[in-house]
Amino acid sequence: MTRRTRGAPVRERAFHERLARTLPAGRRGLLPLGDDATALRPPPGRVAVVSTDTLVEGTHFLATSPPERVGAAATGVSLSDVAAKGATPDAILLALVLPVGTESAWAESVVRGAERFGARFGAHVVGGDTKPGPVRAVVSTVLGWGRAAHLAPRTGARPGDVLVTTGTVGRGGLAAARLAAGGAPGRKAVVDLLDVRPRVREGIVLAPLSHALIDTSDGIAEAARLLARASAVRLVVDEEKLPLARGIGSVAPTAARRRAVAFYGGDYELLAAVPRGRVVRAERAVRAAGGRLTRVGRVERGRGAWLRTRRGRVVMPAPGWQPFGPERSFDRG
Amino acid sequence: MTRRTRGAPVRERAFHERLARTLPAGRRGLLPLGDDATALRPPPGRVAVVSTDTLVEGTHFLATSPPERVGAAATGVSLSDVAAKGATPDAILLALVLPVGTESAWAESVVRGAERFGARFGAHVVGGDTKPGPVRAVVSTVLGWGRAAHLAPRTGARPGDVLVTTGTVGRGGLAAARLAAGGAPGRKAVVDLLDVRPRVREGIVLAPLSHALIDTSDGIAEAARLLARASAVRLVVDEEKLPLARGIGSVAPTAARRRAVAFYGGDYELLAAVPRGRVVRAERAVRAAGGRLTRVGRVERGRGAWLRTRRGRVVMPAPGWQPFGPERSFDRG
């Protein structure tokens, strides 16, 4: 879709009726798409795992961002949360806030982007809502099915556990740094920030082997802090072992800047506390699921999240993404 | 909360941590409040019924609207959708969009309003999301548990069915008309528009007895049109029989104006197509659930939703609430 062609403005009922005809999910649920609600049959022995997340124009995407990417990213952030509980995603609901006059094609591309992205992980758009408002926003709710015994709550980390992470550290921070630098790479960075890669398959195999599992959407440092706090333990991450995203060195020549980029957030990896005896099994399982797992630290008695730097000092890591400004509670670990 | 006292601005983590400590739901779910996602165990034999809805500042509420009412109304609109599928509500997720600097007390009151309102129907706030944006918005997702055989899809109406509605017709339109008239009653009307009364108990007893069930959030005329279209039948509503909200006559002296008010929307009643032989049972069941049921029309062979006026003419009813402007598809029935 190009922004030059100004298409027909969105109309709620016409929009919903067109989606009901075109989305494959219309033939999946227990209710036709467009009914008051969505109905889903739980697989035997499973529990519902639900999460909701929001992308707002101006904060998370621009009016010029490709709408399919916006839909995919909105779905990706919720998929990441459901993945962090080891659940198999099933259904996506999308609540769209749209200024009156928004082209129908824009909204349809958002939904199509969500549907295509979700389908890669077995989830489909089954419902939603469209409301007028002064700014575009996309709220995704993802429902998946997990196992009560394998939810790996963030309260579950125990001293002796090994800390492992999927993928790399700093992809989100790298995109943000490039965006801040402006220019042509800046424009690419807007799209890079929407390139959310939820670790759904990794979560499904990691959760049953982990004491605690959390996603790193606000940065690995923040994830470690939340895990330490919820589990009342001390987490030590070895900076040396962090699988840094390729290219961080080019935008962050000093150790301090590199750390700021690495801990910025927007990574959507999984950080797990795995009992020592299961680490090898976890590594094999994640590899078999197409991912990679890196040992980055350990859980100890004590409090707070700490970073052992390349020079061997143990310091408090920089805070991750703080959307409403600096949090006073941060330093209390 | 008074608007004169400007309290501390919202901070995401501090806000979530305070909610995790204070919300009763923190002791209910399979996961602690504040984990990446919410986990809920399905009651035996039930299916998940989910719906999502949005209220936006400036469109559905004002900056001066009492935040507890905003939270209650946001929850109410989703509860109404879940009620229309006969489900028992269980969990509420709230996605808040808040301008940076919004008082934390405002956001907490929204959540408290949602929690208190939901608790009246057995549902509790179990999770959500907070994001910065240029305007306040509250997105509620309600998850309930229904029965696959009793979802009363809007495709289910059959010729011979009797049309029944809960409550009255025109409460929403009356509040909107008073708001448009301005003045002191106008200020009350802002609050009246947030006075959503989802028919949860009625839906639970009506759904198993109905062929089709739908809520009237966009007006009973629009609900009838959607039902007729989805079921490929003709619906005839008798204007004479409509249980008009008290006070409509005072703002709408002519039949045409009365109709515009009655069909405006914002009622959140249930409209059901009930097989003739079950109508008496349905009336008794709804009365036992504390509600009222009125026979307002019938389902016939044919197409479209029609209104038999007090003078006996059969006409196309006025459209209900069309948030993005007039829909071209409306007149096609």
* Averaged pLDDT, B112-133: 95
Tell me: pLDDT of B3 over 70.
no
Q: List Cβ neighbours of B315 (8 Å cut-off, separation of 6 or more).
A: B306, B307, B309
Pairing relationship of beta strands B304-308 and B234-238 according to DSSP bridges: parallel
Q: Which residues of B touch A153 (CB under 8 A)?
A: 31-32, 35
Write down how long chain A is.
333
Pick the last residue of a domain from B148, B165, B184: B148
**Residue of B35, B62, B85, B100 to mutate, interface with A, max A Cβ within 10 Å:** B35
* Any domain includes A117: yes
For residues B229 and B122, state if they share a domain: no
The reported pLDDT for the residue numbered A25 is 63
Residue B111 lies in a domain: yes
Same domain, B217 and B127: no
Q: Do B11 and A327 touch (CB under 8 A)?
A: yes
pLDDT band at B330 (very low <50, low <70, confident <90, very high): very low
What's the confidence (pLDDT) of residue B323?
75
**Same structural domain for residues B165 and B131?**
no
Strand B88-98 versus strand B38-40 pairing type: unpaired
CB A325 within 8 A of CB A317: no
**Mean pLDDT of all residues in A23-49:** 86
Chain B residues near residue A84 by CB distance under 8 angstroms: 36-37
Pairwise CA distance, residues B256 & B260, whole Å:
6
Domain harbouring A59, CATH code: 3.30.1330.10
The pLDDT of residue B331: 39
Residue bearing the bigger pLDDT, B121 or B331: B121
Residue that wins the pLDDT comparison between B333 and A75: A75
The first and second tokens of residue A99, run together, are 């200024």
DSSP string for B163-219: EEEES-B-HHHHHHHHHHH-HHHHHHHHHHHT-----HHHHHHHGGG-SEEEE-TT-
Q: What is the pLDDT of residue B113?
A: 97
Q: How many CB atoms lie within 10 A of CB A122?
A: 11
The string of pLDDT tens digits covering residues A116-129 is: 999 999 999 999 99
Task: Give the model confidence (pLDDT) of B230-279 as tens digits.
Answer: 999 999 999 999 999 998 988 888 888 888 888 998 899 999 999 999 99
At residue A188, the pLDDT reads 66
User: For an interface test with A, which of B31, B36, B75, B210 has the most A Cβ atoms less than 10 Å from its Cβ?
Assistant: B36
Q: Which residue of B has its CA nearest to A12?
A: B324
Least confident of B144-148, B156-160, B329-333: B329-333
Q: Is the pLDDT of residue B6 over 70?
A: no
- A85 assigned to some structural domain: yes
Predicted-complex ipTM score: 0.92
Please name the residue of chain B whose CA is at the shortest distance from the CA of residue A142: B37
Residue A143 and residue A160 in one domain: no
Q: Are residues A232 and A289 in the same domain?
A: yes
Co-location of A176 and A105 in the same domain: no
Of A30, A54, A327, the CB nearest to B97: A54
CA nearest neighbour of A240 among A172, A160, A307, A166: A307
Q: At residue B48, what are phi and psi to the nearest 5 degrees?
A: -75, 135
The closest of B146, B144, B43 to B86, measured between CA atoms, is B146
What is the pLDDT at residue B257? 86
- Which pLDDT score is estimated for B329? 45
Residues B144 and B158 in one domain: no
Q: How far apart are CA A174 and CA A263, in angstroms?
A: 10
By DSSP bridging, strand A234-238 and strand A304-308 are: parallel
With residue A108 as reference, give the H or E element that holds it: helix A104-119
Q: Do A67 and A100 belong together in one domain?
A: yes
Q: Indicate the residue among A112, A132, A147 that finishes a domain.
A: A147
> Per DSSP, what are the bridge partners of residue A49?
A144, B39
Q: Is residue B233 part of a domain?
A: yes
Weakest-pLDDT range from A205-209, A286-290, A317-321, B95-99 = A317-321
| DSSP character string of A239-267 | GGG--BPTTHHHH--SHHHHHHHHTSS--
Cα(B67)–Cα(B112) distance, integer angstroms: 9
Which of B130, B148, B166 lies at the terminal end of a domain, its last residue?
B148
Give the closest of B54, B94, B215 to A36, CB-based.
Answer: B215
Q: What backbone phi and psi angles, to 5 degrees, belong to A187?
A: -65, -40
Whether B164 and B118 map to the same domain: the answer is no
Tell me the average pLDDT across A288-309. 96
Q: How many domains does chain B have?
A: 2
Q: Which of B324, B329, B330, B331 to mutate to test the interface with A (most CBs of A within 10 A)?
A: B324
Both tokens of B204, joined, read 């639970």
Shortest CA gap A244–chain B (Å): 24
Summarised one tens digit per residue, pLDDT across range B266-276 is 899 999 999 99
Place of tokens 């069909």: B263
Is the CB of A131 less than 8 angstroms away from the CB of B323? yes
- Residue A100 domain-assigned (yes or no): yes
**Tell me: the pLDDT tens digits for A207-264?**
999 999 999 999 999 999 999 999 999 999 999 999 999 988 888 888 888 888 889 8
Cα separation of B67 and A219, whole Å? 32
Q: What is the mean pLDDT of chain B?
A: 90
**Is it the case that residue B30 has pLDDT exceeding 60?**
yes
pLDDT band at B328 (very low <50, low <70, confident <90, very high): low
pLDDT at B171 over 60: yes
Extract the runs of DSSP E, i.e. beta strands, from B8-73: 38-40, 47-56
Residue A7 lies in a domain: no
Domain containing residue B141? 12-148
Are residues B254 and B132 located together in one domain of the fold?
A: no
User: When comparing pLDDT for A262 and A7, which is higher?
Assistant: A262
Say if A4 falls within a structural domain.
no
